[in-house]
Amino acid sequence: MKKIHSKIDKNNKVISIRGLKKAFDDFEVLKGVDLDLFQGENLVVLGRSGTGKSVLIKIIAGLLKADEGYINVLGSDIMKIMPKELDELRLKLGFSFQNSALYDSMTVRENLEFPLIRHVKNITRKEIDSRIEETLDAIGLSQTINQMPSELSGGQRKRIGIGRTLILNPEIMLYDEPTAGLDPITSMDINNLINEVQERYNTSSIIITHDLTCAKSVGDRLVMLLDGQFQYQGTFEEVFEKNDERVKLFYNYNFIE
Ligand SMILES: Nc1ncnc2c1ncn2[C@@H]1O[C@H](COP(=O)(O)OP(=O)(O)OP(=O)(O)O)[C@@H](O)[C@H]1O
């Protein structure tokens, strides 16, 4: 399998966060979050609904501003970054939103072409075509190139959405609830894709989820957001062996559903 980014240094921090705080009016969502993401790793952020997981990745992507803290992403200090530098940084981040909608009136090819035309200066037709082919191959959907989104299954649409992000060769992928709304088999398919993307593109990824099967399948390391801070981190087993009622509740409810 061809690697897109070839060199990784697993000790290199691509994201480093210290003391991050964020409140909306009087409601403190993040109360001093510390987090490191190392190059090439899949880091899963777990937490119940409304604990601030999406807020966290929006702050990392510069879509929301933190109230306090140090946030370094790929060497840039997000709290002090200038708008032009932020635009350049965002191109190195692939953001797969919870409901990453495709453009319904465009074919798969056109959906994938869109970010290239918009963000890659002076790109040639030949390069556009080869990047589309390479991306479709990576997500296993070469045969859908001329189809409309309405002709695809939910899982396929999700894959194309991830492909549309990957086509810009991001260094960091931010997945927000990648398996939300998918059946267990399609979810497993997406989990496999996340692992394949890590393998093929050498991306570093943050995966936000409350789906424990997803967390177990993709996470090299897990962190759990509880009461506005990361309380536990480690492998799946290390996190879930904690003798904490909140962790046990989270685990039990996941498998009762
Ligand atoms: N722009 C905003 N303005 C006001 N409050 C917000 C805003 N964005 C998020 N919040 C609040 O912050 C809290 C955390 O939201 P967030 O979307 O990060 O939760 P989450 O952990 O991702 O939940 P879920 O798993 O349900 O997606 C929620 O109470 C939400 O209402």
Does ipTM top 0.90?
yes
Helix then strand then coil, in percent of the chain rounded to 5, is 40, 25, 35
Tell me if 8 sits within 8 A of 40, measured CB to CB.
yes
Q: 62: CA distance to ligand 1 center in Å? A: 16
pLDDT in tens, 164-180: 999 999 999 999 999 98
Can you tell me the distance from the alpha carbon of 127 to that of 255, in angstroms, rounded to the nearest whole number? 46
Is the pLDDT reported for residue 3 higher than 80? Answer: no
Q: Give the mutation target among 24, 58, 214 for probing the ligand 1 site: most ligand atoms within 8 A of CB.
A: 24
Look at ligand 1, atom 8, and give the residue with the nearest C-alpha: 55
pLDDT in tens, 11-47: 899 999 999 999 999 999 999 999 999 999 999 999 8
Look at ligand 1, atom 18, and give the residue with the nearest C-alpha: 52
Q: What is the pLDDT of residue 1?
A: 41
Q: Is the CB of 225 under 6 A from ligand 1?
A: no
> 200 CB contacts (<8 Å, ≥6 apart)?
1, 2, 3, 4, 138
pLDDT in tens, 88-142: 999 999 988 776 679 999 999 999 999 999 999 899 999 999 999 999 999 999 9
Tell me if 60 sits within 8 A of 78, measured CB to CB.
yes
As given in the structure block, the two tokens for residue 22 are 């964020």
Q: 101: CA distance to ligand 1 center in Å? A: 20
Can you tell me the distance from the alpha carbon of 8 to that of 85, in angstroms, rounded to the nearest whole number? 23
Q: What is the pLDDT of residue 217?
A: 94
Length of the chain: 257
Stretch (H or E) spanning 154: helix 154-166
pLDDT in tens, 198-256: 998 899 999 999 899 999 999 999 999 988 888 888 999 898 888 888 888 878 777 64
Q: Is the CB of 29 under 6 A from ligand 1?
A: yes
* 1-92+171-257 is classed CATH 1.10.1670.10: no
Residue 222 main-chain phi, psi, to 5 deg = -120, 145
Q: Is the CB of 51 under 6 A from ligand 1?
A: yes
Q: Where are the domains of the chain?
A: 1-92+171-257, 100-169
Q: Is the CB of 53 under 6 A from ligand 1?
A: yes
Q: What is the pLDDT of residue 5?
A: 54
For the segment 60-64, the average pLDDT, to the nearest whole number, is 91
